[in-house]
């Protein structure tokens, strides 16, 4: 599959943390880009953020208002596009009143984009899924989760996790049954970190701000995998154009899961005095459980204390030649950018 600079790529959710980086990557590789936003009022901020990434979009970037919950705008958005990168997805601040408030727009929004892409003769769609659709299908064991694993949507899982697995399953089912010539690939990122440009960023970033708050005497025994947003964007572009990626899933992870304690130490090592409030010790589980009795915000982490979900990124590396940054580099870049933007209580970078 050969691509040219005259090809147009649609990126859904262009004002998002990942969507903005995907736009920047596509523009840097010479594509013309169209992006959907819920309101055209977001265009100036998106262009400003791209400028902060070193990308002058100019006339090579166009905006179309479209919402995942409505049909309006999608035919215009996909018209003339060779590729679609569907990064837009609802992500709540907490559990919704009813899980369908999250599941329905995630699933139906994905199908709405796929139908429009098929009808417009788009060659390939890359859907941003999540490790949430991969890593909750069986108990955490020493064997790493791979693209062959699926989360059990009928398990005891939060609505967000269920929404991601149901949306990705729906995408594969649609392409198999009704996709005609449309090709599909999916990318499943783990926790997305990396340089923050504006105020719209991944919810994972809140973990870094929490470390700097000084509220935690130590790090709970939590484990998760990390990916830099720039590398997640790069994997989307690779999955978009590589002939081998059609019909494939790819996990976007810098490497295996690391502990929150490891992340805290990496930030302290890279940022020195500016990270003085970041805890250097790890808290025993019983201390966290006791603290959770008085702090409801801690209760959500209790089921995951000490639980390691190992993950493999071998497929993206070997099939697509993907070379992600390390977890330490990703989280350090996050902290450095937050400090530079004045979004952390410490501003002295000495």
List, for residues 318-343, the tens digit of each pLDDT value: 999 999 999 999 999 999 999 999 98
For residue 346, being part of any structural domain is answered with: no
For residue 82, being part of any structural domain is answered with: yes
> Can you tell me the distance from the alpha carbon of 126 to that of 238, in angstroms, rounded to the nearest whole number?
10
For residue 165, being part of any structural domain is answered with: yes
What average pLDDT score do residues 16-24 get? 96
Q: Are strands 8-12 and 32-37 parallel, antiparallel or unpaired?
A: parallel
Q: Specify the number of domains making up the chain.
A: 1
* Longest alpha-carbon distance in the chain: 59
Cα–Cα distances in Å, from 347 out to 254, 317, 334? 28, 37, 14
Q: How confident is the model at residue 3, as a pLDDT?
A: 63
Q: How confident is the model at residue 101, as a pLDDT?
A: 81
For residue 186, being part of any structural domain is answered with: yes
Cα–Cα distances in Å, from 320 out to 144, 192, 313? 20, 20, 11
For residue 23, being part of any structural domain is answered with: yes
**End-to-end Cα separation, the chain, in angstroms:** 49
For the stretch 153-165, pLDDT in tens is 999 888 889 999 9
pTM across the whole model = 0.94
Q: What's the chain's Rg over C-alpha atoms?
A: 20
Q: What is the CATH number of the domain that holds 94?
A: 3.40.50.720
Expressed as residue numbers, the domain containing 92 is 8-196+226-256+310-325
- Could you tell me which of 307, 272, 304, 274 has the C-alpha nearest to residue 289? 304
- DSSP single-letter state for residue 324: P
For residue 51, being part of any structural domain is answered with: yes
For the stretch 172-204, pLDDT in tens is 999 999 999 999 999 999 999 999 997 667 678
Is 103 exposed, middle or buried (CB count within 10 Å of its CB: 0-12, 13-18, 19+)?
buried
For residue 125, being part of any structural domain is answered with: yes
For residue 157, being part of any structural domain is answered with: yes
For the stretch 284-312, pLDDT in tens is 999 999 999 998 878 888 989 999 999 99
């Amino acid at each position: 599959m050969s691509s040219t600079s005259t090809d147009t790529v649609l990126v859904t959710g262009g004002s998002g943390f990942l969507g903005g980086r995907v736009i920047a990557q596509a523009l840097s590789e010479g594509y013309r880009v169209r992006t959907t936003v819920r309101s055209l009022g977001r265009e100036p901020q998106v262009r400003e953020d791209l400028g902060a990434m070193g990308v002058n979009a100019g006339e090579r970037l166009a905006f179309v208002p479209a919402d995942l919950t409505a049909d309006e705008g999608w035919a215009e958005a996909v018209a003339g596009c060779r590729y679609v990168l569907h990064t837009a997805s609802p992500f709540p601040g907490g559990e919704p009143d009813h899980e369908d408030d999250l599941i329905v727009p995630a699933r139906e929004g994905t199908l709405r984009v796929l139908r429009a892409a098929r009808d417009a003769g788009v060659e390939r769609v890359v859907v941003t899924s999540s490790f949430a659709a991969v890593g909750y299908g069986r108990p955490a064991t020493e064997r790493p989760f791979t693209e062959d694993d699926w989360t059990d949507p009928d398990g005891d899982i939060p609505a967000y996790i269920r929404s991601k697995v149901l949306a990705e399953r729906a995408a594969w089912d649609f392409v198999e049954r009704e996709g005609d010539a449309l090709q599909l690939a999916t990318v499943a990122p783990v926790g997305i970190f990396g340089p923050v440009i504006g105020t719209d960023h991944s919810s994972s970033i809140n973990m870094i701000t929490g470390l700097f708050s000084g509220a935690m005497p130590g790090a709970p025994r939590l484990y998760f995998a990390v990916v830099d947003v720039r590398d997640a964007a790069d994997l989307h572009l690779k999955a978009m154009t590589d002939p081998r990626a059609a019909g494939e899933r790819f996990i976007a992870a810098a490497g295996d899961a690391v502990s929150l304690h490891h992340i805290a130490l990496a930030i302290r090592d890279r940022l020195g005095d500016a990270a003085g409030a970041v805890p250097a010790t790890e808290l025993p589980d019983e201390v966290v459980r006791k603290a959770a009795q008085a702090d409801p915000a801690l209760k959500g982490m209790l089921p995951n204390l000490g639980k390691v979900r190992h993950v493999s990124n071998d497929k993206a590396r070997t099939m697509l030649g993907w070379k992600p940054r390390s977890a330490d580099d990703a989280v350090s870049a996050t902290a450095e950018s937050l400090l530079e933007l004045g979004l952390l209580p410490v501003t002295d970078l000495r």
